[in-house]
Amino acid sequence: MTVTGKISAIRGAGPAPAHRRRLLDQDWPRLLRAGAVLALGQVFIALSGMPVSFDRRLLIDPVLSLGYLSLLWLPLVVGYWVGREQVLEGMAAYTRGGRDVAAGAIAGLLGNAGLTLLVLGITHFDIRDPLVNWSPQLLDILEFEESVWLGTLIWPAIGAGTGALGGGMHWAGSRTSRTTVTVLLSVFGTAVLESVITDLTQGFHVEAVSDWLYGPKRGLTYPAAIAVAATAVGVMTGLAAYRASPARDGRTTRGNGAATVGGSESARPAWRRMPTRRAMNLVLTVAAIVVLPLFLGRLTNELLANVGLFILLALGLNIIVGLAGILDLGYVAFFAVGGYSVAVLTSPGSPRFDPEIPWFGALFAAMLLAGLAGLFIGAPVIRMRGDYLAIVTLGFGEIIRVLLLSDWLSGTFNGAQGITNVPGVEVFGLATVRGFEPRSVLYLVLVFCAIAVYVSWRLENSRIGRAWMAIREDENVAEAMGVDTVSAKLMAFVTGAVLGSFSGAILSAKVGSVFPHSFAIIVSIVILVVVIFGGMGNIPGVIAGAVVLIGILGGPNQPGLLQEFAEYKILIYGALLVWMMLQRSEGLIPNMRRARELHIDEMNQDVWLRAQAAADDAHNEGGNPRGGRL
């Protein structure tokens, strides 16, 4: 992106003449490519089984099911994508217009022709053996339970329509298109999140709202859908009016002043007001977090508790991967050590260690054991680098699970039966935290998250944090600067392990049992995805990653907001990760300070490029006007 991005940024140097192009004056190879990608995507979605399994889940009561939505969204995205055209410097710029709509429509038409082929394919061939979803049910859905002819003809038409809508987003101007997107997202969001919204309304004792919103089959009713859309439009207009109001002007200019590094002098007054504002924000956030669980229903509290468990894990792994740069693929080991230590020490159901100790005592044992496990796993891998290290940690993660499962240690860990009857957490005789009271679990998790955030934050800005980052960047040079790399890396493993064991310890008390299969390799991978998705080495990013991924999609063994998608969780994880690596390799929330620097740097680069371009122009004066120079 960088080169073309910069080039388009230079455009400011000289205004390019704007042209209007005719409807069919398209970049055909690009359209064909987009169409092919869309076709593959649509056929993939259809054959992944989503349309069939989501067909019964109605979104808007009589008309639209989640199954059909799964086939509708992609043409919209592709339509938007083909309508977006990079403006190259030195080339003519075109005004937005019907051509974009046409491009979207053509791509959508071509792409959904893939579904037409699928309909014909299913009608004439039976390859259900390798492809389980090559089924009459899918055919029924694709044909709208009518005829083959309807099925073959209607999909390209639908594709053209949605694609045109996507392409038209550019034409409509940013406010209109943003409003459209918001309306669509809020209507479908409200529909998809039915269970959570019902839960929330119960928590706030306004069940009437959810009763009115949702029909008997859990979909939005017609009037409700219209009301949600109207609310979204209202909010958007209100926000736009607020942004345009003079009251906000002072704020924006001050924000801009603070964003320029060079103008640090002008940022002084804002800087002076910052601490109080930040403290206020912090206090408000903390208060909201403390009070909110009281109003949330069981489901939401449970969900947030799971998110919290993964925040703990992700913060721990973030120290190892994000700060110290050690790719640990066996992080689940520390989760398991925490969970099993607490289970063995507190449960009367554990075969060994009869005098059971209270949870807090067991927690200390868990921390100690996890720290030792960190040393034990860290020591042999610390001298390795890159791929080898990752593979060895992967092995260690599995070894722990296999040990827990083994006959040899079944006297302690009870093999595949696991350990049950793990009691809840007695909080100093005041309260008992049990799995069937998600609210209490959430509070316990929140306390530990706060500890983990504080520890991570302090470590990140400490000497050892600097040392970790230096090792991540260049281990040899870090050593030459006097960093004791071996002990720093071991320290990262131990700290990460202890944070991970918190999560295991809470999980064990929450669920009341532990089994070896809860600590499979997929858990390691999910935690790593959370860290990468959120933004490695960056605490708010990691938290956001956990909230988004675990909260919405769910953890490996935990349901998320979109319970319907549980079956496709890993697929979506993978797709998101690929998209993330392509589009925002810095993660969901890249370090803000860093991002700003990067931005400034790009601006500097642009200035440099512009100067180069000017020099080139002067050089080539009269002669060949920069043909093919870039």
Residues in the site for other proteins, rule: CB under 8 A?
A: 261, 463, 466-467, 469-470, 472-474, 476-484, 593-594, 597-598, 600-601
Beta carbon of residue 466, minimum distance to other proteins (angstroms, whole number): 6
419 within 8 A of 349, measured Cβ to Cβ: yes
Q: Give 206 or 261: the residue with its C-beta nearer to other proteins.
A: 261
Q: Least distance to other proteins from the beta carbon of 83, Å?
A: 33
- Closest Cα to residue 328, out of 534, 542, 492? 492
* Smallest separation (angstroms) from other proteins to the CB of 469: 6
Q: Are 525 and 331 in contact (CB under 8 A)?
A: no
Shortest gap between Cβ of 596 and other proteins (angstroms)? Answer: 9
Tell which residue, 331, 270, 289, 266, has the closest CA to residue 501. Answer: 331
Spatial CB neighbours of 376, under 8 Å, sequence gap ≥ 6: none
Cβ closer to other proteins: 249 or 597?
A: 597
Buried b (16+ CB within 10 A) or exposed e, 361-370: ebbebbbebb
Q: How far is the CB of 323 from other proteins (least distance, A)?
A: 11
State which residue, 275 or 482, has the beta carbon closest to other proteins.
Answer: 482
Q: How far is the CB of 322 from other proteins (least distance, A)?
A: 11
Pair of tokens at residue 308: 């919290």
Q: How far is the CB of 104 from other proteins (least distance, A)?
A: 37
Alpha-carbon span 28 to 10, nearest angstrom: 27
Longest dimension (CA), the chain: 93
Please check whether residue 404 is in contact with residue 351, taking contact to mean a CB–CB distance below 8 angstroms.
no
**Tokens 């406010």 belong to residue:** 175
Our CB check for other proteins shows the closer of 322 and 349 to be 322
DSSP symbols for 195-255: HHHHHHHHHTT-HHHHHHHB-TTSSBPHHHHHHHHHHHHHHHHHHHHHHHSHHHHHHHHHH
If phi > 0 it is left, if psi is from -120 to 50 it is alpha, else beta; for residue 93 that is: beta
Q: Which residue has the tokens 């956030």?
A: 285
Task: Give whichever of 477 and 566 is closer to other proteins, judged by the CB atom.
Answer: 477
Q: Which is nearer to other proteins, 2 or 245 (CB)?
A: 2
Q: Provide, rounded to whole angstroms, the least separation between the CB of residue 514 and other proteins.
A: 38
Torsion from C-alpha of 567, 573, 574, 577, nearest 10 degrees: 170
The residue type found at 156 is P
**In contact, 587 and 534? CB cutoff 8 Å:** yes
The residue (of 437 and 479) whose beta carbon lies closer to other proteins is 479
Q: How far is the CB of 483 from other proteins (least distance, A)?
A: 6
Instruction: Rank residues 4 and 260 by Cβ distance to other proteins and give the closer one.
Output: 260
Q: What tokens does 18 get?
A: 């704007």
CA angle, residues 24, 29, 30, in degrees to nearest 5? 85
The separation between the first and the last C-alpha atoms of the chain, rounded to the nearest angstrom, is: 15
Nearer to other proteins, 77 or 481 (CB): 481
Integer Cα distance of 444 and 433 in angstroms: 8
User: Crossing angle of helices 148-171/66-83, nearest 10°?
Assistant: 50
Nearer to other proteins, 169 or 464 (CB): 464
Q: How far is the CB of 387 from other proteins (least distance, A)?
A: 21
Q: Quick one: 25 or 601, whose CB is closer to other proteins?
A: 601
Q: How far is the CB of 629 from other proteins (least distance, A)?
A: 20
Looking at this protein, which amino acid is placed at residue 73?
W
Nearer to other proteins, 9 or 193 (CB): 9
Question: What's the rounded Cα separation, in Å, for the pair 420 and 515?
Answer: 9
The rounded Cα 241 to chain-centroid distance in angstroms is 31
273 vs 593, beta carbon nearer other proteins = 593
In angstroms, give the least distance from the CB of 479 to other proteins.
Answer: 5
β-strand partners of 94 = 19
Comparison of 240 and 477: residue with beta carbon closer to other proteins:
477
- Least Å from the CB of residue 605 to other proteins: 8
Q: Which residue, among 34, 31, 44, has the nearest Cα to 118 in the 3D structure?
A: 44
Do the beta carbons of residue 493 and residue 377 sit within 8 Å?
yes
- Smallest gap from Cβ 74 to other proteins, in A, equals 35
Q: How far is the CB of 604 from other proteins (least distance, A)?
A: 8
Which of 146/484 has CB closer to other proteins? 484
- Residue closer to other proteins, measured from CB, 288 or 480: 480
Long-range contacts of 423-430 (CB under 8 A, 24+ apart): 423/346, 423/347, 423/348, 423/356, 423/359, 423/509, 423/512, 424/359, 424/509, 424/512, 425/359, 425/360, 425/506, 425/509, 426/358, 426/359
Q: How far is the CB of 317 from other proteins (least distance, A)?
A: 19
Q: Which of 317, 325, 316, 327 minimizes the C-alpha distance to 389? A: 327
d(CA 503, CA 500): 5
